[in-house]
């Protein structure tokens, strides 16, 4: 069996992969390029650079997990594959942050939804941030290329009931809906994308670009934490990194120094600003960590008369953009509607409650359906995003105040989601909110939601999409990198991940990251070869 | 916050307005929690992970090594879990005890993987609840946790759930979330949600799971 697995085969064939936990003495290594992070951005960058003949070292703080470890088990996966063992939150604790921490980054645990950056978003960037080269036409070939690389296509099987209820509700109300493109090959339609694909069907970085880079002599260190980029005059000289113990929680004390001509940071919208802040990289306009976006998510739960089994089947296959850009790109907060999978641990963590009401809510899981709204943040003066800063121990934390503008959008989203669920035949609907009861009619739900307190902690909020913090733009006064991800002030530093987005995307961001990283890495490969 | 009802300031929250406004600021909350942690250490509360000490081991079954929860934390969860999950458990004392203790072990294992930053946050929260003065003032729980009844534990959780003070709501979420995930998420309790587990046909077809 091991020989049929892409990773097991590569390791046997002699890939240059080092587990930081096995290192016993301090050491130094050198390559043309050091890439920090192995997710959508880092994987893409490493593969393109390695294929162009450059020597590449990939650095990943999380560990290498692959099919042998993916056993459709929630508790193990949340503990090992997610940032802070799935406990990451914003500074005040009000927004739960779902984010990968393993080789492949969030692409190892995402729900496979693969959208191009909406045209409205690219056009807005061009207008607001001077990113004239990122027009939909100019980006189209990069999206084409990445869709092929990651086997992205509209889901060809029937949606599961959980998703179909979103479709039915939209259909009844005359709202548009569409089928979600997914990055899978030979998918078994099991429903366990969020805990690591047990069949290798998911074509995230772990099954595509990371193996592609390793096949071309890239070297991967996992279990190695990037601490600090160290400057020598106006260039970065080396990366200082700490090996982590096998528990992935504590550093072992062994340090690794990585020297290179060029450094690409792709450590996520929380990790990348964190690394730049720890490194004191020049930031004359105080832009690093600013304008961080989350697509804040709220949710409603519905009890359906029929079996939903929301834990089985492709987790996301239907979406609605009816309300995403309805009032213009920069009008009242728009939102994308999708569906989350509901396995028992995830559900128990999302539904707030204790005692009998919690037991009752969990008891009906097989007939529970949920809709989520992803609020498009960053397109309005009253949606300036949050700020990444450093804790005393140097770890990054995101402070994300929620403005009245966003609360309004979130309340509207509660209303819309409840309306859709009742239209699809829900018996009862409940916003995921500390004050909410179950409502048995749309009229009752509407009346309650219109006056429910929209406040931190009481309104349960989530995010699976972290963006911004090293925003791109034409003007150094307003941004960290230019439209090619090149740092404005340090010539041998690039940023290739979701942190460069100057707003949120308005769609699940993985394809936006893949495409920009591919474009910017192709340019970088040319420069470094020249 | 727009449209936040002013009425939701139940009299059973904290009695004194000045303290309320003090706690409402994040700074005040952090100071209070920080003070509790220091005082807990000075006052002789158990501040070291419980490990597998004999008295704990006798309650929690052999073998498990606690890496984060202290003896006081374990007593806290022994008092809270009956209010959180008690009605879902069998009345049979031994089976009930096993379900409780294994849940507490999974809470410990989960928190260990949270990493240093969130461990520090939880340390402050648990110290606040374990230290007598703050247990009384912030949680309004008068007895030490081993003497708290299920009804009193439920009343405490309900106070923090309905409180107008975000810090207490956040504490409620932290306590219930780690407990709910550790309980409902485990195979032993999947039947409570009707979750049959991963599809058997897929397990049978995947040697790395079937032969594990």
The DSSP secondary structure of A135-158, one letter per residue, reads -HHHHHHHHHHHHHHTTEEE--SP
Q: Which domain holds residue A443?
A: 154-183+297-376+403-455
pLDDT classification of B105: cutoffs 50, 70, 90 = very high
pLDDT classification of B15: cutoffs 50, 70, 90 = very low
* Helix count and strand count (H, E) for chain A: 13, 22
Q: Is residue A480 part of a domain?
A: yes
C-beta separation of A357 from B185 below 8 A: no
The Cα A342–Cα B207 span in angstroms is 25
| Neighbouring C-alpha atoms within 13 Å toward the C-beta of A438 | 16
Count up the domains in chain A and report the number. Answer: 2
Contacts of residues A387-392 at CB distance under 8 Å and 24 or more positions apart, as own/partner, are: A387/A289, A387/A290, A387/A292, A388/A269, A388/A270, A388/A273, A388/A274, A388/A277, A388/A288, A388/A289, A388/A292, A388/A469, A389/A277, A389/A289, A390/A274, A390/A277, A390/A278, A391/B117
Question: B27-50 burial, b for 16+ CB within 10 Å, e for fewer?
Answer: eebeebbebbbebbeeeebbbebb
Q: Are A75 and B106 in contact (CB < 8 Å)? A: yes
By Cβ distance, the residue of B170, B181, B195 closest to A311 is: B195
**Orientation of helix A442-451 relative to helix A404-423, angle to 10°:** 170
Q: Which one of A348, A404, A459, A462 would you mutate to disrupt binding with B, by most B Cβ within 10 Å of its Cβ?
A: A348
Q: Is residue A189 part of a domain?
A: no
On the question of pLDDT at B56 being above 60, the answer is: no
- The tokens for A318 are 């239907």
Query: Parallel, antiparallel, or unpaired for β A292-293 and A368-375?
Result: unpaired
- The most distant pair of C-alpha atoms in chain A lies apart, rounded to whole Å, by 68
Per-residue pLDDT of B78-89, as tens digits, reads 999 999 999 999
Note the pLDDT of residue A335. 98
- Residue A178 and residue A205 in one domain: no
- Residue A323 and residue A449 in one domain: yes
Per-residue pLDDT of A481-505, as tens digits, reads 999 999 999 999 999 999 999 999 9
Per-residue pLDDT of A446-461, as tens digits, reads 999 999 999 999 999 9
Kindly report the backbone phi and psi dihedral angles of residue A253, in degrees, each rounded to the nearest multiple of 5, phi listed first.
105, -15
Q: Is residue B182 part of a domain?
A: yes
Q: Which one of A194, A244, A349, A354 would you mutate to disrupt binding with B, by most B Cβ within 10 Å of its Cβ?
A: A354
- Residue A280 and residue A301 in one domain: no
Q: How far is A453 from chain B (nearest CA, A)?
A: 5
C-beta separation of B24 from B165 below 8 A: yes
If you count residue pairs, one on A and one on B, with CB atoms under 8 Å apart, how many are there?
184
Q: Are B2 and A407 in contact (CB < 8 Å)? A: yes
Q: Are A395 and B199 in contact (CB < 8 Å)? A: no
The Cα A150–Cα A202 span in angstroms is 9
- Residue A350 and residue A418 in one domain: yes
Q: Are A362 and B202 in contact (CB < 8 Å)? A: no
Q: Is residue B51 part of a domain?
A: yes
Note the pLDDT of residue B2. 40
C-beta separation of A257 from A232 below 8 A: no
Per-residue pLDDT of A62-102, as tens digits, reads 999 999 999 999 999 999 999 999 999 999 999 999 999 99
Q: Are B199 and A356 in contact (CB < 8 Å)? A: no
Note the pLDDT of residue B61. 54
Residue numbers in B near A1 (CB within 8 A): 207-208
Per-residue pLDDT of A31-47, as tens digits, reads 999 999 999 999 999 99
Q: Is residue A208 part of a domain?
A: yes
Q: Is residue B204 part of a domain?
A: yes
Per-residue pLDDT of A416-432, as tens digits, reads 999 999 999 999 999 99
C-beta separation of B51 from B66 below 8 A: yes
Q: Is residue B164 part of a domain?
A: yes
- Residue A310 and residue A229 in one domain: no
Note the pLDDT of residue A4. 79
Note the pLDDT of residue B212. 77
Q: Is residue B194 part of a domain?
A: yes
Note the pLDDT of residue B62. 63
By Cβ distance, the residue of B26, B184, B207 closest to A92 is: B26
Note the pLDDT of residue B18. 42
Note the pLDDT of residue A366. 98
Q: Is residue A396 part of a domain?
A: no
- CATH number of the domain residue A163 falls in: 3.30.410
By Cβ distance, the residue of B88, B172, B208 closest to A359 is: B88
The Cα B60–Cα B193 span in angstroms is 25
Percent of chain A at pLDDT exceeding 90: 98
Per-residue pLDDT of A108-158, as tens digits, reads 999 999 999 999 999 999 999 999 999 999 999 999 999 999 999 999 999
Note the pLDDT of residue B36. 62
Give A375-390 as a 3 state SS string. Answer: ECCCCCCCCCCEEEEE
The Cα A330–Cα A251 span in angstroms is 44
Q: Which domain holds residue B141?
A: 17-210
Length of chain A: 530
Note the pLDDT of residue A404. 98
Count up the domains in chain B and report the number. Answer: 1
- Residue A435 and residue A370 in one domain: yes
pLDDT classification of B48: cutoffs 50, 70, 90 = confident
User: Residues with Cβ < 8 Å from B94, sequence gap 6 or more?
Assistant: none
- The most distant pair of C-alpha atoms in chain B lies apart, rounded to whole Å, by 63
pLDDT classification of A220: cutoffs 50, 70, 90 = very high
Note the pLDDT of residue A254. 98
On the question of pLDDT at B60 being above 60, the answer is: no
Q: Is residue B7 part of a domain?
A: no
On the question of pLDDT at B10 being above 50, the answer is: no
Percent of chain A at pLDDT exceeding 70: 99
Q: Are A354 and B84 in contact (CB < 8 Å)? A: yes
The Cα B98–Cα A69 span in angstroms is 28
Q: Is residue B82 part of a domain?
A: yes
Per-residue pLDDT of A377-401, as tens digits, reads 999 999 999 999 999 999 999 999 9
Average of per-residue pLDDT across A491-520: 98
First to last CA, chain A: 44
Residue numbers in A near B117 (CB within 8 A): 84, 391, 393, 395, 397
ipTM, two decimals: 0.96
- Residue A9 and residue A144 in one domain: yes
Residue numbers in A near B173 (CB within 8 A): 93, 352, 457, 460
Note the pLDDT of residue B38. 58
- Residue A431 and residue A336 in one domain: yes
On the question of pLDDT at B28 being above 70, the answer is: no
- Nearest residue of A to residue B5, measured between CA atoms: A453
Q: Is residue A121 part of a domain?
A: no
Per-residue pLDDT of A171-184, as tens digits, reads 999 999 999 999 99
Residue numbers in A near B193 (CB within 8 A): 344, 347-348, 362-363, 365-366
Note the pLDDT of residue A1. 44
pTM across the whole model: 0.94
Q: Is residue A191 part of a domain?
A: no
Note the pLDDT of residue B8. 38
Residue A261 burial class via C-beta count within 10 angstroms: exposed 0-12, middle 13-18, buried 19 and up: middle
Q: Is residue A305 part of a domain?
A: yes
Average of per-residue pLDDT across B35-59: 62
Note the pLDDT of residue B42. 56
Note the pLDDT of residue B4. 40
- Residue A44 and residue A144 in one domain: yes
Note the pLDDT of residue B50. 87
pLDDT classification of A53: cutoffs 50, 70, 90 = very high
Per-residue pLDDT of A260-286, as tens digits, reads 999 999 999 999 999 999 999 999 999
Computed over every residue of chain A, the mean pLDDT equals 97
DSSP 3-state of B204: helix
pLDDT classification of B35: cutoffs 50, 70, 90 = low
Note the pLDDT of residue B57. 47
Residue at a domain's end among A431, A455, A479: A455
By Cβ distance, the residue of B1, B178, B182 closest to A454 is: B1
Q: Is residue B10 part of a domain?
A: no
- Nearest residue of A to residue B83, measured between CA atoms: A355
C-beta separation of A449 from A298 below 8 A: no
- Nearest residue of B to residue A79, measured between CA atoms: B113
Residue numbers in A near B190 (CB within 8 A): 344
Sign of CA dihedral A62, A66, A72, A76: negative
Per-residue pLDDT of A230-242, as tens digits, reads 999 999 999 999 9
């Amino acid at each position: 069996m091991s020989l049929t697995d892409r990773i097991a085969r590569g390791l046997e064939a002699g890939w240059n992969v080092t587990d930081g936990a096995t290192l016993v003495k301090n050491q130094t290594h050198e390559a043309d390029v050091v890439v920090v992070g192995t997710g959508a951005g880092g994987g893409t960058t490493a593969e393109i650079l390695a294929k162009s003949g450059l020597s590449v070292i990939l650095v990943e703080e999380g560990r290498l997990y692959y099919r042998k470890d993916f056993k459709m088990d929630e508790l193990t996966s949340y503990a090992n594959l997610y940032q802070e063992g799935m406990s990451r939150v914003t500074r005040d604790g009000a927004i739960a942050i779902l984010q990968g921490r393993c080789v492949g980054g969030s692409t190892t645990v995402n729900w496979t939804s693969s959208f191009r950056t909406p045209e409205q978003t690219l056009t807005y960037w061009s207008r607001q941030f001077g990113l004239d080269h990122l027009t939909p036409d100019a980006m189209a070939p990069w999206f084409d290329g990445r869709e092929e690389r990651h086997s992205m296509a509209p889901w060809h099987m029937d949606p599961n009931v959980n998703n179909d209820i979103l479709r039915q509700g939209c259909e009844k109300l005359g709202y548009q809906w569409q089928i979600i493109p997914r990055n899978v090959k030979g998918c078994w339609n099991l429903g366990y994308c969020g805990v690591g694909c047990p069949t290798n069907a998911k074509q995230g970085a772990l099954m595509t670009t990371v193996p592609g880079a390793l096949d071309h002599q890239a070297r991967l260190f996992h279990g190695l934490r990037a601490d600090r980029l160290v400057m020598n005059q106006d260039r970065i000289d080396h990366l200082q990194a700490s090996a982590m113990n096998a528990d992935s929680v504590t550093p072992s004390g062994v340090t690794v120094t990585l020297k290179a001509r060029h450094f690409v940071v792709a450590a996520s919208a929380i990790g990348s600003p964190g690394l730049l802040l720890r490194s004191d990289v020049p930031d004359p306009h105080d832009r690093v960590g600013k304008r961080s976006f989350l697509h804040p998510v709220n949710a409603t739960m519905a009890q359906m008369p029929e079996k939903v089994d929301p834990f089985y089947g492709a987790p996301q296959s239907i979406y609605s953009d009816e309300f995403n850009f309805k009032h213009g790109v920069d009008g009242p907060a728009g939102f994308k509607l999708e569906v989350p999978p509901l396995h028992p641990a995830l559900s128990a963590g999302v539904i707030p409650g204790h005692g009998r009401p919690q037991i009752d809510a969990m008891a009906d899981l097989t007939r529970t359906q949920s809709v989520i709204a992803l609020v498009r943040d960053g397109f309005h003066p009253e949606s300036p995003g949050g700020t990444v800063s450093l804790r005393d121990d140097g770890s990054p934390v995101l402070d994300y105040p929620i403005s009245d503008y966003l609360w309004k959008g979130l309340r509207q989203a509660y209303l819309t989601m409840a309306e859709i669920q009742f239209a699809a035949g829900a018996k009862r609907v409940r916003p995921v909110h500390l004050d909410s009861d179950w409502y048995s009619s749309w009229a009752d739900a509407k009346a309650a939601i219109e006056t429910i307190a929209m406040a931190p902690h009481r309104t349960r909020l989530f995010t699976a999409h972290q963006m911004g913090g090293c925003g791109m733009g034409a003007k150094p006064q307003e941004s960290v990198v230019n439209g090619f991800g090149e740092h404005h002030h340090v010539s041998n530093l690039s940023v290739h991940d979701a942190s460069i987005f100057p707003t949120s995307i308005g769609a699940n961001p993985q394809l936006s990251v893949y495409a920009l990283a591919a474009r910017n890495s192709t340019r970088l490969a040319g420069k470094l070869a020249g | 916050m727009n449209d936040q009802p002013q009425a939701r300031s139940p009299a059973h929250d904290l009695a004194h307005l000045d303290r309320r406004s003090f706690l409402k600021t994040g700074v005040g909350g952090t100071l209070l929690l920080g003070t509790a942690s220091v005082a807990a250490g000075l006052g002789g509360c158990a501040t070291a992970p419980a490990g597998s000490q004999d008295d704990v081991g006798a309650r929690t079954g052999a073998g498990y090594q606690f890496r984060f929860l202290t003896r006081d934390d374990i007593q806290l969860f022994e008092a809270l879990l009956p209010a959180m999950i008690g009605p879902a458990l069998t009345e049979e004392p031994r089976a009930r005890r096993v379900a409780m203790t294994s849940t507490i072990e999974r809470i410990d294992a989960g928190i260990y993987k949270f990493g240093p930053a969130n461990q520090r946050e939880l340390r402050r929260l648990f110290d606040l609840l374990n230290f007598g003065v703050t247990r009384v003032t912030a949680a309004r729980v008068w007895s030490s946790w081993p003497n708290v009844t299920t009804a009193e534990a439920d009343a405490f959780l309900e106070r923090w759930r309905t409180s107008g003070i975000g810090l207490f709501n956040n504490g409620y979420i932290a306590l219930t979330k780690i407990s709910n995930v550790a309980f409902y998420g485990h195979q032993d309790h999947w039947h409570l949600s009707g979750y049959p587990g991963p599809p058997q046909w897929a397990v049978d077809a995947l040697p790395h799971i079937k032969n594990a």
